[in-house]
Amino acid sequence: MAFLKTFKGGVHPPDHKQLSKDAAITEAMVPELLTVPMAQHIGKPAQPVVKVTDEVKRGQVIGESQGFVSANVHSPVSGKVKRITECNTPLGTKTQAILIENDGQDTWAEGCNVESNPENLTPKEIRSRIADAGIVGMGGATFPTHVKLSPPEGKTIDTVLLNGVECEPYLTSDYRLMLESPDTIVKGLQLVMRAVNCNNGYIGVEANKPDAFKIMEKTCKELSSSDARLAAVMLEVKYPQGGEKQLIEAVLNREVPSGRLPMDIGALVQNVGSSHAIYQACYLNRPLTERIVAVTGEAVAEPANLLARIGTPIGDLLRHCRFDEEKAVKLICGGPMMGLAHFDLEMPVNKGMSGLLALTDASDWDFRHCIRCGRCVDGCAAHLLPSELSIIGESGRFLDAEEANVMDCIECGACTYVCPARRPIVQWIKLAKQEIMKERLRKAEQAKAV
């Protein structure tokens, strides 16, 4: 284990994956009413292109992307548009949404769910298929995938990395996908490589998933060709091993410079779930209308990995798994390190929702002054000084925070996890970043007005 590839820094929280790791992917019941958000991605929200009483089919575009950094939204079922409404999002904001009454027929839109051979697609056509399908980063980041696969002139991608690490405690949706659909993941990787004219593809898997590693390694060997090298790489078990920059550091021994992107050093990272969705878009003409959600935690009697339609109320998934609402003290969308606590059981599943955690132990502590122990510095995967940044953020000195490279923080929460003074370090860092972005926006608007 000491010789496994990894990055500098990181922490080792208990993974709690035993709760749901052996639960095969099963389809969740499709509800009678689905609320489909128009903002399920980074960038501009989609614009509704249907109206109340319209009949829709599964896979039909109901929200059109607005500009390059945006994504299409498709109907997850066939049925009727009941209302244009609003819904909560996992980020704590509200977004416009379309309420659809399911007719129970699951009729696909014309041209969808039809097998095709993508072998002759050009890189541009692959990117177009991905954009049309509304695919985004499904590890939680939700950055529109077609944008990521469109590097600007002069940027050459020599290596594509698939993130199969799933380093967040509790989460097991990517793990089950690797066990049950390795071919679709690797074929999706090949499509990504073709889209960016790249010949090297790696799939990173942590050592606590040896069965997933073996099957990905076997599939890579079977599908490799003379002009495309594919390989699985086993990585040390450490959080946040699945962070984009950390994965690049571990597998390629390259560092993404401050303020730069992976493409600046010839790398591109995709989640295994996104790769699977790319396969479905190019081989089956299926837009992104569903995703796997790990429903787990000690307040869930029957943890599961559910294939859920976008727009399904999260309460339906929790009840499917015999959720004990009285026993639960905290509900988290995502993982416990980077996910956000939520309260609304009617909030719908979106494209980036990898997990729902119902926890029985989520105690709050009073925090104290920093004791200068350095644990957060040792654990910081971005090589920052979290203790200093938290003190600056707490005091409202946001300009100083920017000068101290606070924008390089990946918000993984490792600093808060290891802090013996129980300081909410990452929360203060997030506040500083938000205020800096507000100030940048204000200056940009001011410059436009001149």
Q: Is 258 exposed, middle or buried (0-12, 13-18, 19+ CB in 10 A)?
A: exposed
Mind listing the pLDDT tens digit for each residue in 233-285? Answer: 999 999 999 999 999 999 999 999 998 999 999 999 999 999 999 999 999 99
| Nearest Cα to Cα of residue 118 among 219, 190, 181 | 190
CB–CB of 298/360 below 8 Å?
yes
Pairing of strands 229-235, 200-206: parallel
Residue 395 gets the label, from left (phi > 0), alpha (psi -120 to 50) or beta, of: alpha
Residue 313 corresponds to which amino acid? P
Domains in the chain: boundaries: 32-101+287-359, 115-283, 375-449
Mind listing the pLDDT tens digit for each residue in 174-225? Answer: 999 999 999 999 999 999 999 999 999 999 999 999 999 999 999 999 998 7
pTM: predicted TM-score of the whole model, two decimal places = 0.95
Mean pLDDT (the chain) is 95
The CATH number of domain 115-283, selected from 3.40.50.11540, 3.20.190.10, 3.40.50.1820, 3.90.1310.10: 3.40.50.11540
**Residue reference for tokens 């104290």:** 368
Strands (E), 229-279: 229-235, 267-271
DSSP 385: -
What's the rounded Cα separation, in Å, for the pair 179 and 194?
24
Residues of the chain falling short of pLDDT 50: 1
CB–CB of 369/421 below 8 Å?
yes
Strands (E), 213-297: 229-235, 267-271, 290-296
Q: Quote the pLDDT of residue 449.
A: 82
What's the rounded Cα separation, in Å, for the pair 143 and 365?
34
CB–CB of 168/175 below 8 Å?
no
Q: Quote the pLDDT of residue 133.
A: 98
CB–CB of 149/188 below 8 Å?
no
Other Cβ atoms within 10 Å of 133 Cβ, number: 25
Give the DSSP H/E element, type plus range, for residue 185: helix 182-195
CB–CB of 41/91 below 8 Å?
no
Q: Quote the pLDDT of residue 111.
A: 95
Residue 413 gets the label, from left (phi > 0), alpha (psi -120 to 50) or beta, of: left
Q: Quote the pLDDT of residue 364.
A: 66
State how far the alpha carbon of 202 is from the alpha carbons of 150, 198, 216, 352, in Å: 19, 12, 10, 22
